[in-house]
A and B are shown apart, each in its own frame.
Chain A
Amino acid sequence: MATGGVNLSKEFFELLKAIGESKSKQEEDRIISKEVQCLKKKLEPTPQGHKNPLQSKKKAKEYLVRLLYVEMLGHDASFGYIKAVEMAASASLYHKRTGYLVCGACLSPDHEFRFMLVNQMQRDMQSANVLEICGGLLAATSLITPDMAPAIVGEVTKLITHDSETVRKKAIITLHRLFQLAPDVVTFDDLYEKVRKILCDRDPSVMGCCLNVIEDLCIRDPVKFKELIPSLVSILKQIAEHRLPTEFDYHKVPAPWMQIRLVRILSMVGQGDATASSGMYEILNETMKQADVGINAGYAIVYECVKCITKIYPNAKLLDAAGEAIARFIDSRSHNLKYLGVTGLAMIVETHPQYAAQHQMSVMDCLEDRDETLQRKTLDLLYRMTNPVNVEFITDKLLLFLSGTTDVFLKKQLTTRVCSVAERYAPSNSWYIKTITQLFEVSGDHKIS
């Protein structure tokens, strides 16, 4: 519920007003520097006070939020970090969460204060209060370092099977974080076994959450997940057919981000494997159809399916469906959809160049568009479409763009690409030499990797 600032102290309110009305970064910096001085005084250790204990606690929480502001706006507030650590030990949930929040946002990975929080996080994870457990899990995800992992792995693992779905959801992400930081403490196999079970969790949110973990593990070892294809397909089918509770709908599209994740996982598992891929053709077709409802959330799913279809073992009917979707995207008036069309085409065109032929006019339009993002994506597409017939034209375009851009990343990428296509498709030695010379003139100081 929005409060309109009624519960803020006058001082804090004035500070926010000043920040909100400041007209320049310098003015904002001045305000924040003053605030830093003010906070430093306030946070000095107070003599044994006669104040109302809650009053000072409330104030303390406010000071922490002000510290967060200071750091958010680019000033150092390290004098206050210890207060944040202390507040994480508060009995009041709100204060505890605020303390953890400030710690997570401000303490660098090698800051010694992080260690001071381990015991507190452990205690919170053992609490009877679900919200306290969640506080501990969230804090652990942002504050844990590899050294601290062994201390909490036991607690986190227990919480994977907690009664509350809010806890289970967070626990799996925290466990995954431990795996990322300390793969000797939480091994791939450990995590895989846990994740297999959670895939069947009775709560769709918990299942949806664990799809993130599965996606990451799948990147590392897609083969392991082939045995899960039937489960993944079945889950996707349930979602696409509207069999989840309607509260999971987003503008009538059922759990679009879960669908996207599932399709992405399938694309990794099906890549280069005819048997694995054949198990997904039907569901991909169905998902694409169900998602085609005319809004962005649906188009996002269709786009993910298109990407998947171009990655897995080819199926003619699906490729045609993908080609059709791409055509509609490219011809759309929305630049966002054009972007998807161009990107999708780039993926399909390397292995199936025939889909590009009908779009030559649209692709040229995109190249000439004032939208820099669209231009860049179209360049990417052209690069992938290069063949001995069009190499001169495409190289000219790449060089033209290279000479006009100041973006270091793009320059590097274009330089590499011009070299690559020039080498592969050069129609003659003289053309090759001319092209490479031009390249040196335009980007001579960039290393070609």
Chain B
Amino acid sequence: MPISFLLMVNKQGQTRLSSYYEWISMVERSALESEIIRKCLSRSELQCSFVEYRGYKVVYRRYASLFFIVGSRLSKDGNDNPENELGMLEFIHNLVETMDKWAGSICELDIMYQLEQVHFLLDEMVMNGYIVETNKMNVLRPLDLMERENQKSESMYR
């Protein structure tokens, strides 16, 4: 089952990055984001990293001040979502490790200062809600290339 949304929200409920793979109106997004983070915050560290929320299966994990939250749709009767929850949890970890490698130790501020680049990184890994790349080198290589091309074009004007 494809991913419907991927969020990075801090514990005050402020969204640091949101990526939606199916169209949801802005009003719905705001409601979803604030309710989901509240749900995640109400759970203890010892409880499992999975919740069901409004017809979505949600997998989340906290890194320092930031929650990484991934949601995919349950089927209509809520009985069968083939998504592998533990696999998704580890994917989140892989994403964080990749971001770490790219940033040289990622933190919430890095995401804020370079929002579009974090999106570009995420775009290498998730496309149309599908996990398309998990090999860190393959993710970072095009980003490096883009970075270099960007520096070249900027230096042309110095």
Q: Measuring CB to CB, which residues of chain A are less than 8 angstroms from any residue of chain B?
A: 1-5, 8, 16, 19-20, 22-23, 25, 28, 52-55, 58, 65, 68-69, 71-74, 76, 92-94, 97-98, 101, 105, 108-109, 131, 134, 138, 141-142, 166, 169-170, 173-174, 176-177, 205, 208-209, 212, 216, 247-248, 250, 255-257, 260, 264, 296-297, 299-301, 303-304, 307, 335-336, 338-340, 370-374, 376, 409-410, 413
Contacts and interface: CB of A to CB of B under 8 A. Distances in A.
A177 B114 CA distance: 28
Contact of B52 (A216, A371, A409): A409
Contacts of B104: 1-2
Interface in B139-158: 141-142, 145-147, 149-150, 153-154, 156-157
B45 to A, nearest CB: 10
A173 B132 contact: yes
Contact of B17 (A72, A142, A340, A374): A72
Contacts of B64: none
Q: Assign chain B's interface to a size class.
A: 35 or more
Given A169-B133, A205-B135, A73 B15 contact: yes
A94 B30 contact: no
Given A212-B2, A256-B87, A371-B48, 20 more contacts: A2-B104, A4-B113, A68-B115, A94-B149, A94-B153, A108-B25, A131-B145, A138-B123, A166-B138, A257-B87, A257-B91, A297-B87, A301-B87, A304-B87, A307-B82, A335-B46, A336-B50, A340-B85, A373-B48, A376-B52
A379 B136 CA distance: 39
19 contacts: A2-B102, A2-B105, A19-B14, A54-B153, A73-B14, A108-B23, A166-B138, A250-B90, A257-B91, A260-B87, A264-B82, A304-B84, A336-B50, A371-B47, A373-B48, A373-B50, A373-B51, A376-B52, A413-B78
A336 B77 CA distance: 23
A98 B41 CA distance: 32
B47 A373 contact: yes
The 6 closest A-B pairs by CB, nearest first: A2-B103, A300-B86, A212-B130, A335-B48, A371-B47, A5-B113
A335 B47 contact: yes
Nearest to B23: A109
Contacts of A296: 86, 89-90
B87 A300 contact: yes
A32 B93 CA distance: 31
Contact of B112 (A19, A208, A256, A300): A19
Interface in B9-53: 12-15, 17-20, 23, 25-26, 29-30, 34, 43, 46-52
A28 B48 contact: no
A19 B104 CA distance: 24
Contact of B26 (A76, A92, A138, A208): A76
A54 B157 contact: yes
Interface string B65-85: 000000000000110001011
